[in-house]
Amino acid sequence: MSLTLLHILTLASLAVPFTQVKAETYRGPRLTVKPVFFVPKDASIPASDVGERFMRQMKIAQARYFELLGGLDTFQLAPKMTVVRSKTTIAELEKQPSGAAEFVVKELMAHDHVDRWSCPYVYVAFFVGTGDYPGGGGGRPINGGHNNGGGIIILSASLMDSVPNAQSTLQHELGHAFGLPHVDVYGYDMIGNDSIMSYNPKHHSDFFHQSPNPGNLIPEDMRGLAQNKWAFPNYRFNTKADVPANYTMRSDVTLGPMGLSTH
Ligand SMILES: [Zn+2]
């Protein structure tokens, strides 16, 4: 397929519900979570010890997902941080809408010579030199749904290295990038719920240490992740074992695709 046609399909996805778009589906290999230092042209590349701390955080999150998925699977993780030099300045980056998520994912896919349908990565983009920007961070699946390819997480490198609950935030944003919504879409309380996809302050990590009450997966989360075969091919959702007695499963909810406009 030519780039021009793909471009038209991408724009079409903005106008109509994604499920009605005869767009392509993901056609790559198993997904890899790929942590990246996203370095604007007027920022300095972080020292190697920062990268080592970030990889340690990534591995803690990977181990936690293994626990949460009952030891059946976890996400595949790149062996080291990638440094990507951006064409943008810090000020230009901070002016981008939506925390610059679309801008950054487009640059990262161009860097890796992939498009939204062939991108085998869940990028974890740590913005370098942006101070507290982009605030609490964010995460999205690029093409929406539970099982249609890669994702993007944006986080401030500065906050990642200085805020105690960075690890629990990382686990939450990974959930979004794998296709999970917040628990309020099921009618659950965002502050009190047991899910990593809530904002429950009891889940907050303390740097490299988990909370004594870390976030868990509720059955709706397990059902969602089990559908993501590109990320978790060995994980199965077992309705009998995974849904407590008297628990009413809510209808499935998926996140939409990113627009990825070209201007
Ligand atoms: Zn969230």
Looking at residue 252, what is its pLDDT? 97
pLDDT, mean of residues 210-233? 98
- Please give the distance, rounded to the nearest whole angstrom, from the Cα atom of residue 218 to the centre of ligand 1: 15
Distance 231 CA to ligand 1 centre (A): 19
Distance 138 CA to ligand 1 centre (A): 6
Please, which pLDDT band fits residue 24 given cuts at 50, 70 and 90? confident
Q: How many angstroms does the Cα of residue 176 sit away from the middle of ligand 1?
A: 7
Q: Calculate how far, in angstroms, residue 155's C-alpha sits from the geometric centre of ligand 1.
A: 12
Q: What is the pLDDT, as a whole number, of residue 39?
A: 98
Taking phi over 0 as left and psi of -120 to 50 as alpha, with beta for the rest, 97 belongs to beta
CA of 211 to the centre of ligand 1 (A): 18
Q: How far is the CA of 256 from the centre of ligand 1 (A)?
A: 14
DSSP string, the chain: --HHHHHHHHHHHHHS-GGG-------SSS-EEEEEEEE-TTSPPPPHHHHHHHHHHHHHHHHHHHHHTTTS---EE-SS-EEEE-SS-HHHHHHSSGGGHHHHHHHHHHHTT--TTT--EEEEEEESS-TTTTTT-EEEESS-SSSSS-EEEEEEHHHHTT-TTHHHHHHHHHHHHTT---GGGGT--TTT-SBTTS--GGG--BTTB--SS--B--HHHHHHHHH-TTT-TT----HHHHS-TT--PPPP--PPPP-----
| pLDDT, position 6 | 34
Distance 78 CA to ligand 1 centre (A): 23
- How far does the centroid of ligand 1 lie from the alpha carbon of residue 169, in Å? 8
Domains annotated for the chain, with CATH where assigned, are 27-242 (3.40.390)
Q: Given this model, what pLDDT does residue 23 score?
A: 63
pTM confidence score? 0.91
The Å distance, Cα 90 to ligand 1 centre, comes to: 24
CA of 188 to the centre of ligand 1 (A): 14
* Mean pLDDT, range 139-157, rounded to an integer: 97
The number of residues in the chain equals 263
pLDDT digits (tens, 9 = 90+) for 43-72: 999 999 999 999 999 999 999 999 999 999
| CA 197 to centroid of ligand 1, rounded, Å | 6
Q: How far is the CA of 151 from the centre of ligand 1 (A)?
A: 14
